[in-house]
Each structure stands twice: as structure tokens, then as C-alpha cells.
Amino acid sequence: MNEWILIEQLKQGDQGAFRKIVEAWQDLVYNTAIGIVQNAEDAEDVAQEVFVQVFESIQHFKGESKLSTWLYRITISKAMDHIRRKNRKKRFAFVKNLFNDRNEAVVHPPDFNHPGVILDNREKSVTLMRAVSQLPENQRIAFTLHKIEGLSYLEISDVMETTVSSVESLMHRAKSNLKKNLENFYKQDL
């Protein structure tokens, strides 16, 4: 069925149209979320928040962009909000419990478990995703959308509401930062 028909049906409160939209776009939303939050449970929470917002704000969707672009924007926003909330909780917990029982600093590495990563590559993927999680927000978003979701620079510029040259710059800086972070990681490992 045509997505515009589904959108119009959803705007009229059709629950069946909402179910079809969720079925059609749930993988895109979940995969984008897990690429950013790097935790399966958190990605599920984000996906649920995304579809709640879609249902509640579909009246504001004007069709100036593709539905997928709108969903990417909502997903990125919800995922980044989720990370910020989690970081605030971690900071509070960190202040409460700076050290464990052995007087060692407590470290919480990201729990990355993407469904598309086969077991043999899981360790390399965890290392890469830790490095990605350390990128500045816009670099992390651009990198995730391009390398994990496979979006073109033009599509990313639509999602991020910026220019293609800005996306190129973000990707260049992200790759440079990742190279530096991964070189440091592998030097420590030797």
C-alpha cells in the first residue's frame, strides 16, 4: 500500500494504518536506534518512543520530506535524548559511588549487541562501537547513518537538516577521530 495513503489513514485515526506503518518501518527505526544507543533494550525503548511520537504527531507531518527521513529525525532525536538521560543518571550514580569495593574506578563500557553483527566479528564490532560512542554527537549521527544504515550523504543532509558539504566534513572528522581512537586502543593492546 502507498505510504501516503497510510499517512492519511493514520491522520484520520485508523489503527490498522498505524500497525502497517510500524510493521513497515520498525527495522529502520530499531537499527538506527541501536546504532546510536548501542544496547538492544535501550534501542527497543527508543523505537517504542518513536512510534508513540509518530502516532501523536502525525498531524504535523506535512510530507515535505519522505516518511523515512521524518522517522530518522525522530529516531535520532529520541536516541540522543535517551543517551543524555542515561548519562545524567550515570553522573549521579558516579557521584554516589565513585569507586567499587576495591577502590577502583567504576567504568561502564557500552553494551553493543547489533543483530547484524555475526559472532566472529563481535569483539571487533564492540571495539569499533566504543570508539563511535566517543565521537561528538553530530559526527556519531552522520557516521551511524552512513556506515550502519547505508544512507547517502544527500539523504543524511536531509535527515540532519544540513548541507552535503557539512555531512562530508562530519564524516571526514569522524573517520579521523575514529582512526586516532582505534590506533590508541590497538597500541594499548600490544
pLDDT at 184: 73
Residue 115 DSSP code? T
- Gap between the Cα atoms of 7 and 62, Å rounded: 10
Fold assignment, 112-190: Arc Repressor Mutant, subunit A (1.10.10)
Domain-by-domain residue ranges, the chain? Answer: 1-100, 112-190
1-100 and 112-190 in the same fold: no
- Gap between the Cα atoms of 189 and 179, Å rounded: 15
Residue 24 has pLDDT above 90, yes or no: yes
pLDDT tens profile 72-121 = 999 999 999 998 888 776 554 544 444 444 444 444 444 444 555 555 56
- Gap between the Cα atoms of 159 and 76, Å rounded: 9
Tell me the longest C-alpha to C-alpha distance in the chain: 61
Fold assignment, 1-100: Rna Polymerase Sigma Factor; Chain: A (1.10.1740)
Report the pLDDT averaged over residues 6-13. 92
Residue type, 85: R
